[in-house]
C-alpha cells in the first residue's frame, strides 16, 4: 500500500513524491506542496480531520481526502 500524508503520525516528516496533478488543486501547489519538498504533520484536528501541515516552510491545513491523494516517502530518523 502506498503511503500518503494521511498515513503520517503526528510530528512525522516526509518527502512529497510525484502525484496525479489533476486531482490536487493548483492553490495547494502554489503554497509549496510540490514533489521533492518536505512535509511535516503538525496537528490533527479533533475528529481526525483536517490535518495541519508544515509544507516547505508554509503552515497550512488541508482535508483528509486531499491528504490521501498526496503520496510521500517517510523520513526515518
- Rule CB under 8 A: which of 38-57 touch other proteins? 42-43, 45-50, 52, 56-57
Place of cell 502506498: 2
Supply φ then ψ for residue 11, to 5 degrees: 90, -15
| Residue 2 Cβ vs other proteins, minimum distance, rounded to whole Å | 20
Task: Check binding of 31 to other proteins (CB under 8 A).
Answer: yes
| Among the listed residues 10, 15, 6, 16, the one whose alpha carbon sits nearest the alpha carbon of residue 76 | 15
CB of 62 within 8 A of CB of 72? no
Q: Which of 6, 8, 39, 66 binds other proteins (CB under 8 A)?
A: 66
Supply φ then ψ for residue 26, to 5 degrees: -55, -35
Q: Which of 25, 73, 74, 75 binds other proteins (CB under 8 A)?
A: 25
- Which residues in this chain contact other proteins in the complex, by CB under 8 A? 21-22, 25-32, 34-35, 42-43, 45-50, 52, 56-63, 65-66
Amino acid at each position: 500500500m502506498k503511503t500518503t500524508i494521511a498515513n503520517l503520525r503526528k510530528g512525522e516528516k516526509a518527502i512529497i513524491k510525484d502525484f496525479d496533478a489533476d486531482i490536487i488543486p493548483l492553490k495547494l501547489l502554489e503554497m509549496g506542496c510540490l514533489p521533492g519538498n518536505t512535509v511535516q504533520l503538525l496537528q490533527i484536528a479533533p475528529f481526525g480531520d483536517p490535518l495541519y501541515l508544515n509544507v516547505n516552510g508554509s503552515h497550512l491545513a488541508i482535508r483528509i481526502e486531499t491528504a490521501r491523494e498526496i503520496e510521500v516517502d517517510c523520513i526515518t530518523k
